[in-house]
Structure 1
Amino acid sequence: MSNKNIPEDGPGYNRRRFIENAGKTIIASGIIGASLNNDAEAQTPAGTGSKKTSDAIKVELPPIHAPSEKQDKWPAISPPAKRVGYALVGLGNLTLAELLPAFAECKYSKVVALVSGSPDKAKKVAEQYGIAEKNIYNYQNYDSISKNPEIDAVYIVLPNSMHKEYTIRAAKAGKHVLCEKPMANSSAEAQEMIDACKKAGKKLMIAYRIQYEPHNRLAMQWTREKKFGQVKVINSINVQNSGAPPQWRLDKELAGGGSLPDIGLYCSNTNRFLLGEEPHTVLASMYSTPNDPRFKEVEETVMFQMFFPSGAVANNLCSYGVHDSKHYRCYADNGGWFGLDPAFAYHGLKMEVSQTQGDIEMKQNPSKGEKNQFALEIDHFSECVMDNKTPYTPGEEGLQDHKVLEAIYESAKTGKPVKLERIEKLDAFRGSPPTES
Structure 2
Amino acid sequence: MPLKPDLPLPESGARRVGFAIVGLGQLSVEELIPAARTSEHATIKALVTDDEEKGRAYARALDLTEDDVYTYERFEDLKEREDVEAVYIVLPNSLHRDFTERAARMGKHVLCEKPLSVNAQEAQAMVDACRAGGVLLMTAYRCQYTPQHWAAREAVQSGRLGKVKLLDSVHGQSEDDPEAWRMRLDLAGGGPLPDVGIYSLNTVRFVLGTEPEWVFSTLHQPEGDERFREVEESVSFMLGFPGGVVANCLTSYGIHKTATLRVLGEEGTVLMDPAFTYQGLSLTISDPQGDFQPKLPDEDQFGLEFDHFAQRVRDGRAPWTPGEEGVQDHRVMDAIYESARTGQVVRLTPVPGRDAFRGEKPEAAGQ
TM-score, normalization by structure 2: 0.97
1:160-175 correspondence to structure 2 within 5 Å: 160-175=93-108
Aligned to 2:250: 317
Aligned to 1:61: 4
* Aligned residue among 172, 183, 196 for 1:263: 196
Residue 184 (1) aligns with residue 117 (2): yes
Rounded to whole Å, the distance in 2 between the matches of 1:220 and 1:352 is: 12
Q: Deviations over 1:93-120 (max 9, x none)?
A: 0000000001122110000000000010
Q: CA deviation at 1:61?
A: 1.8
RMSD value, Cα:
1.2
Q: Deviations over 1:220-264 (max 9, x none)?
A: 111111112122111100010112221100011000000111111
* Aligned residue among 305, 315, 322 for 1:377: 305
Secondary structure of 1:290's partner? coil
Aligned to 2:131: 198
1:67-106 correspondence to structure 2 within 5 Å: 74-106=7-39
Rounded to whole Å, the distance in 1 between the matches of 2:253 and 2:237 is: 15
Q: CA deviation at 1:60?
A: 4.7
Aligned to 1:153: 86
Rounded to whole Å, the distance in 2 between the matches of 1:309 and 1:236 is: 18
Residue 435 (1) aligns with residue 366 (2): no
Q: CA deviation at 1:406?
A: 0.4
Residue 327 (1) aligns with residue 270 (2): no
Q: CA deviation at 1:289?
A: 2.4
User: Are 1:215 and 1:367, in contact at CA under 8 Å, matched by a contact in 2?
Assistant: no
Give the number of the structure whose alpha-carbon radius of gyration is greater. 1
Secondary structure of 1:246's partner? coil
Rounded to whole Å, the distance in 1 between the matches of 2:324 and 2:348 is: 16
Secondary structure of 2:14's partner? helix
User: Are 1:164 and 1:192, in contact at CA under 8 Å, matched by a contact in 2?
Assistant: yes
Aligned to 2:287: 355
Rounded to whole Å, the distance in 2 between the matches of 1:117 and 1:186 is: 25
Residue 396 (1) aligns with residue 330 (2): no
User: Are 2:235 and 2:252, in contact at CA under 8 Å, matched by a contact in 1?
Assistant: yes
Residue 413 (1) aligns with residue 341 (2): yes
* Aligned residue among 175, 182, 186 for 1:249: 182
Rounded to whole Å, the distance in 1 between the matches of 2:203 and 2:295 is: 19
Q: Which moved more, 1:114-123 or 1:101-110?
A: 101-110
Rounded to whole Å, the distance in 2 between the matches of 1:333 and 1:367 is: 25
Secondary structure of 1:80's partner? coil
Rounded to whole Å, the distance in 2 between the matches of 1:367 and 1:184 is: 36
Secondary structure of 2:244's partner? coil
* Aligned residue among 76, 97, 100 for 1:143: 76
Rounded to whole Å, the distance in 2 between the matches of 1:271 and 1:220 is: 9
Q: CA deviation at 1:74?
A: 1.3
User: Are 2:18 and 2:43, in contact at CA under 8 Å, matched by a contact in 1?
Assistant: yes
Secondary structure of 1:310's partner? helix
User: Are 1:284 and 1:305, in contact at CA under 8 Å, matched by a contact in 2?
Assistant: yes
Q: Deviations over 1:313-370 (max 9, x none)?
A: 1100000001011010111111x1112110011111111223335xxxx333322110
Rounded to whole Å, the distance in 2 between the matches of 1:382 and 1:230 is: 37
Q: Which amino acid is 2:308 matched to?
A: H
Residue 295 (1) aligns with residue 228 (2): yes
Rounded to whole Å, the distance in 2 between the matches of 1:355 and 1:276 is: 21
User: Are 1:301 and 1:320, in contact at CA under 8 Å, matched by a contact in 2?
Assistant: yes
Rounded to whole Å, the distance in 1 between the matches of 2:238 and 2:295 is: 29
- Higher relative contact order (CA closer than 8 Å, sequence separation 6+): 2
Q: CA deviation at 1:129?
A: 1.1
Aligned to 2:162: 229
Rounded to whole Å, the distance in 2 between the matches of 1:384 and 1:135 is: 25
Percent of aligned pairs with the same residue?
44
Q: Which moved more, 1:155-164 or 1:102-111?
A: 102-111
